[in-house]
Amino acid sequence: MTKEEVYQLVCQTSIYVDSRHKTLVRLARVKEAYIYLYEFMTNVEDKHHVMASVLFEELIRFDLLKMTSILDDFLMRLDTYANESTKRLISKIGRNIVYSKQLKLSKKQKQMLVDQALDWLVSDSKVATEAFAMDIIIRLKGEFAQEFTLAKGIVEKNYVSRSAAYQSKAKKLISA
């Protein structure tokens, strides 16, 4: 399947589980599919970048080693996503990366993830993005104590005024 055919498949896919599943079955046979999807999702001017992000996250969820060749680029682009759906997916991928036993991250890569997680906590992000950000910070707290303390302060400050979902995740960060 060519890059253009993969793009057409992304354009024809709907958010419904059945549609995504059918697309993923086809994409699983395409060796370069994750690279194409990554390229499409980074083009935030294209309205289909959100669906490309959905498919990318689902395709690599169980094989994060596919991220190896694009990991540095992925981390450098963390702050480029404004669409809330895409930010949620990107933060979820970030969380999966730090919890992965497959990927070995450098100190610089971990720093990029922690820095972006802090940005997600102080920006006007949705709860899911903030929850994934908290997971990243909790996982890396041993190596980034100063950033963990900062995140804890942010979360404690916001705790009372936020939703029950936020408070639930915040409790885990505060008690970590």
Q: What is the mean pLDDT of residues 103-117?
A: 97
Burial (Cβ within 10 Å: 0-12, 13-18, ≥19) of residue 70:
middle
**pLDDT exceeds 90 at position 124:** no
**pLDDT exceeds 90 at position 163:** yes
Q: Rounded to an integer, what is the distance from CA 143 to the centroid of its chain?
A: 21
pLDDT digits (tens, 9 = 90+) for 42-97: 999 999 999 999 999 999 987 899 999 999 999 999 999 989 999 999 999 999 99
Q: Give the pLDDT confidence score for residue 150 in this predicted structure.
A: 97
Residue 134 CB contacts under 8 Å (≥ 6 apart), including other chains: 117, 121, 151, 155, 169, 170, 172, 173
**pLDDT exceeds 90 at position 142:** yes
**pLDDT exceeds 90 at position 125:** no
